Amino acid sequence: MMYLPNENRYEKMQYAFCGNSGLQLPKLSLGLWHNFGGVDAFENAKAMLLHAFDNGITHFDIANNYGPPAGSAEITFGQVLRKEFANHRDELVISTKAGYWMWNGPYGDGGSKKYLVSSLNQSLQRLQLDYVDIYYHHRFDAHTPLEETADALELLYKQGKTLYVGISNYSAEQTQKMVALLQSKQVPCLIHQFKYSMFHREPETTGLLEVLKKYGIGSIAFSPLAQGLLTDRYIAGIPQDSRAAKSHGFLQSNDVNDAVIQKVIQLQAVAKKRNQSLAEMAIALIWEKGITSVLIGASSVAQLQTNLQALHSQPFSQEHIQEIENILES
């Protein structure tokens, strides 16, 4: 049966211009970091992608090494794109990245021209596309001159293999240098992707957000729920099926300590006053900082729908902002 998207999907979402560009991104974007790999249930992944689009999520964020195995999230998305989204490619913003390990040997990692060009060509094959909408350098590489990385992004941009270029996990200083290099090549830097939540405020405290505003660059925040800490998931302990219990990802069991849980409980009390869940409040608070889009992950349609509720969040009063700040600083 042919997939027919919800006719009211664009009324369900809010959109914002990405920096000084003409590209609008949904306030919520869907990331395929987890749960879309070759080891995951394809039907569940497809259901989440379709539900996202039915609710106006038009931006899907991938990377070359997302899986596992590496590359399989792009294959999954490519399969759904070819069959379910075949008539809607021009309604989608598809982004991918390269910078971390992807294949063995000296050319499968980093920021070299060899790696970045090869990686995008591979990504396009897996996605079954002629171009992506956004191609990011996934991380700063101290072993490669920034000029070389900028050359690679310029080449791919001018070849039309990506409509826009972006950077991810760059510091404020590194961002300024890369933006200047790209500008000298008449290649606009569209967007910066960084880790940001109530528990990870480095973009705010290190001046990165100010740099992005100065240069008119868009922003997208990943891990807005701090790998699940900013939910009610860990209040009663560490569930056996949680990321913290597995201790092989970014969230370790020792991250879930008494001090953190006490803050979570207090933050949840503020969210309750605002008639929303802690997860909804955590996402909505990021928009208060002027971030273009929040990158959410999900393991099920139900979890995705919970995150979508953040779109109905009421404006924050100064009293609630101050209460949240006091908790975070305690």
Q: What is the pLDDT of residues 187-209, one digit of tens each?
A: 999 999 999 999 999 999 999 99
| Closest to 55 measured CA to CA, from 23, 14, 92, 13 | 13
pLDDT surpassing 50 at residue 93: yes
Per the CB < 8 A criterion, the answer to whether 264 and 279 are in contact is no
pLDDT for 71: 98
Q: Where are the domains of the chain?
A: 9-230+280-315
- CB-CB contact of 295 with 224 (8 Å): yes
How is residue 129 annotated by DSSP? -
- What is the reported pTM? 0.94
Q: How many helices (H) and strands (E) does the chain have?
A: 12, 10
Q: 236 pLDDT exceeds 80?
A: no
pLDDT tens for 6-25 read 999 999 999 999 999 999 99
Distance of CA 297 to the CA centre of its chain: 8
Here the tokens at position 38 are: 């070759």
**How many residues can be counted in the chain?**
330
Write down the CATH number for the domain with range 9-230+280-315.
3.20.20.100
Is residue 249 very low, low, confident or very high in pLDDT (cuts 50, 70, 90)?
A: low
**Arithmetic mean of pLDDT, 41-48:** 98
Pairing of strands 15-17, 218-222: unpaired
Q: Tell me, what's the pLDDT at 248?
A: 47
Tell me whether strands 15-17 and 24-26 are parallel, antiparallel or unpaired: antiparallel
Separation of alpha carbons 288 and 277, rounded Å? 17
The structure tokens listed for 288 are 């208060």
Mean pLDDT of 42-62: 98
Whole-angstrom CA distances from 109 to 105, 118, 203 are: 8, 11, 25
Return contacts of 101-108, CB within 8 angstroms, 24+ apart: 101/65, 101/70, 102/64, 102/65, 102/70, 102/71, 103/70
Percentage of the chain modeled with pLDDT above 70: 94
